[in-house]
Amino acid sequence: MATCSFLPNALCRFPAISDQYIRDARKVIDEGFKGLVRDYSSVIDTIVQPLQWFLNYLEKLFTNSPWIVVLAVMMLIVYFASRSIRITLGTAIGMVMIGVIGLWNDTMITLAIVTVSTLIAIIIGLPIGILMARSERIQSAINPALDVMQTLPSFVYLIPVVVIFGIGKVPGLIAVVIYAVPPMIRLTNLGIRLVDREVLEAADAFGSSSAQKLWNVQMPLALPTIMAGINQTIMMSLAMVVVASMVGVGGLGKNTLQAINNQFFTFGFMNGFALVAIAIIFDRASQAFGKRLQKHSEVVHG
């Protein structure tokens, strides 16, 4: 602090506004925000109600069905997506091991929320990505928002989510979607922007309307990139379900949280590996599906 002896005080210690002001401001904002939420609580409830129903329905379906049925359906889906015996067998082995260590039910709960959040992320992300690809202005408006969503610590936006929606599955779901939707939007936008200009010109020359151009040319050609976006979205929802367990999401994430709190070393790793197993299953299946969609570009003639 030797330098401070000859520097004016304002240049030495940062002249922050007084604690009193910040306290007041925080109070006003927090109160106002909570008041707003209180006033509109019924509206908010009606809006999120369908999500609640859907999530509950899927969770019940997954947990109440006999495990053998769930496993068979999973293997079928994985097989038809990837057309690979290896990936299908890997899926079966992974799921059986999860069942053996007693985490079947928790895994089903996690699967339900990941499925719902991925679907929602696609439903939200795809149109936004398309809009972004069509207009420079929309792109420059949405990009900073996506940057914030991807860099803001996930614990921070859990706070407004909890204030608005309370504690429970649906707030957790919303937090997961916020975290998982940016890659979907970005890669849809990128995929459409990367479509060959010559092909677009040909579409124009034959008199395509912009909707025809979108569905006949841009979306099919952007599909591999969009599939990569879906893959990323799934991976990020899997990562986020653990954090979302702090606001009341059950499943593997809740177990992990318990393990942290109680220093259950083995239990924590068992849950962790179960998450890794489903992550690998989703990743391999969706990537193989994406590759299969591009089979037309595989055989290249010299």
Partner 1 sequence: MASHGIEIKGLYKIFGPCGRDHVDAVKSGVTKAELNEKHGHVLGLKDINIVMPAGGITVVMGLSGSGKSTLIRHINRLIEPTYGEVIYDGIDICGMNQAQLREFRRHKTAMVFQKFALLPHRTVMENTIYGLDIQGVPRTESTKRGRYWIERVGLAGFENHYPNQLSGGMQQRVGLARALTNDADILLMDEAYSALDPLIRVDMQTVLLDLQAELKKTVVFITHDLDEALRLGDKIAILRDGQVIQQGTGQDIVLAPADSYIAAFVKEVNRGRVIKAGTVMRPLDGSADGLRISSQMTLENAAKEICETGSSRAVVVDAAGVPVGMLDLQAIVAAMVTPAGSEAARMAAE
- Residue ranges in contact with partner 1 by CB under 8 A: 196, 198-199, 201-202, 204-209, 212, 216-217, 220-221, 296-302
Nearer to partner 1, 38 or 296 (CB): 296
CA-based nearest residue to 110, from 157, 172, 48: 172
| Minimum CB–partner distance for residue 121 and partner 1 (Å) | 25
Nearer to partner 1, 116 or 203 (CB): 203
Nearer to partner 1, 19 or 198 (CB): 198
Nearer to partner 1, 18 or 209 (CB): 209
The residues, ordered by sequence, that sit 6+ positions from 279 with a Cβ below 8 Å of its Cβ are 234, 235, 238
Reduce the DSSP state of residue 179 to 3 states and report it. helix
| Minimum CB–partner distance for residue 189 and partner 1 (Å) | 20
CA-based nearest residue to 243, from 195, 180, 191, 176: 176
Nearer to partner 1, 53 or 215 (CB): 215
Tokens of 129: 């990505």
Residue 184 Cα distances to 77, 103, 129, 230, angstroms: 22, 30, 8, 6
| Minimum CB–partner distance for residue 216 and partner 1 (Å) | 7
Distance CA 265, CA 256 (A): 10
φ/ψ region of 7 (left if φ > 0, alpha if ψ in -120 to 50, else beta) reads beta
Residue 27 Cα distances to 22, 38, 95, 165, 236, angstroms: 8, 16, 49, 20, 34
- The answer to whether 176 touches 234, Cβ cutoff 8 Å, is no
- The answer to whether 188 touches 130, Cβ cutoff 8 Å, is yes
| Minimum CB–partner distance for residue 205 and partner 1 (Å) | 4
Nearer to partner 1, 2 or 299 (CB): 299
| Minimum CB–partner distance for residue 130 and partner 1 (Å) | 18
| Minimum CB–partner distance for residue 220 and partner 1 (Å) | 5
| Minimum CB–partner distance for residue 133 and partner 1 (Å) | 18
| Minimum CB–partner distance for residue 222 and partner 1 (Å) | 11
Residue 11 Cα distances to 1, 72, 96, angstroms: 12, 69, 65
Nearer to partner 1, 49 or 212 (CB): 212
Nearer to partner 1, 44 or 200 (CB): 200
